[in-house]
Amino acid sequence: MKGTNLFLKIFTILVFLFLYSPIIVMVVFSFNESKSIGVFTNFSLRWYEKVINNPEVWKALFNSFWVGAVVTIVSLILGLMMAMAVTRYNFSGKSILESLILIPVIIPEIAEALSLLIMYIFLNIPLGPVTVIIGHVAFCISYVTIVMRARMAGYDRSIEEAARTLGANEFQTFFKITLPTLYPAILAAGLLAFTLSFDDLIKTLFTTGPGFKTLPLVVWSSAARGGVSPELNSLSSFALSISFLFAVFRLRVERRLER
């Protein structure tokens, strides 16, 4: 028993080491003065200077943010409609509908992205930010619907009936009662949609037009072209700190919602 416990403990520590060391090495070497990615010479911010002085990075960051915002709003509206229909009403073909919602989550993104590209080309739709946004929304709707449906499961509708009895019309009830009560569900789903869009690579890669790049695309093209470099280490660490801050924010919001 004692031996097994010790083994499990050491094993778990090693797994945590395995999870953290690549990220730590990447961040540490982003502060390296020399061009080496294996020997740390001196602390320096020169690679960060290079990244910060690169207008392409700022433009991509800006693109990622506004694409993410538009994707979040559109998929929230569409996902909320779907989730409300599924949780509130019974209708024929509901189980088919539920599978139709799940499929975008299951299908490998590469097949999804290339198929969408083929259709864009087939229909002569010019590629650019709009085609990227459409591509993101197409899979975000499903995630939004799934998260909302889970959070709406225990929703008490008697409060809506009370509002209606007191004379509120359908729209007033929706905007004054339903929407505020669903706020936690909407926030959780919205944060997920934004993260999915912000981090997306494959869909963006195949549906973007010339010159329109998001942050993951900048990282990707430089990693695919030149492999590991100190400059890319610092760009990745910079991108990492954004995802990280965002995740902390998401966790705090979710914690507060659960209270």
Partner 1 sequence: MGFSDTLLKHIRRNVTVKVSLLLIPPLLFLAIWFYAPFFIVGLYSFDMINIQREIVFKPSLIHYLRVLSWTGAMKIFLRSLYFAGVTVILCLLIGYPVAYYISFKMKKYKDLFIVLFIIPFWVSFLLRTYAMMSILDERSFLNVLLTSLKLIDSPIRIMYTDTAVILVMVYDYLVMMVLPLYANLEKLDKTLLEAAYTLGASPVKTFLKITLPLSMPGIMAGFLLVFIPAVGEFVIPELVGGPNNYMVGNLIYEFFMGARHWWIGSALSMLFIVFILSLVITYVRKMGERGLAF
What's the closest the beta carbon of residue 161 comes to partner 1, in angstroms?
14
Stretch that binds partner 1, among 47-55, 108-116, 172-180, 185-193 (CB under 8 A): 108-116
What's the closest the beta carbon of residue 51 comes to partner 1, in angstroms?
14
17 binds partner 1 (CB under 8 A): no
CA separation for the pair 249, 5 (Å, rounded) = 35
- Contact letters (x/-) for partner 1, 152-181, by CB under 8 A? ------------------x-----------
Which tokens is 205 given?
């890669």
119 binds partner 1 (CB under 8 A): yes
Stretch that binds partner 1, among 21-29, 43-51, 54-62, 177-185 (CB under 8 A): 21-29
228 binds partner 1 (CB under 8 A): yes
Which residue in 47, 57, 63, 135 binds partner 1 (CB under 8 A)?
A: 135
CA separation for the pair 156, 148 (Å, rounded) = 15
Which residue in 45, 52, 110, 257 binds partner 1 (CB under 8 A)?
A: 110
What's the closest the beta carbon of residue 211 comes to partner 1, in angstroms?
18
Stretch that binds partner 1, among 41-49, 50-58, 75-83, 176-184 (CB under 8 A): 75-83
Using the minimum distance from each CB to partner 1, give the nearer residue, 73 or 223.
223
Using the minimum distance from each CB to partner 1, give the nearer residue, 11 or 62.
11
4 binds partner 1 (CB under 8 A): yes
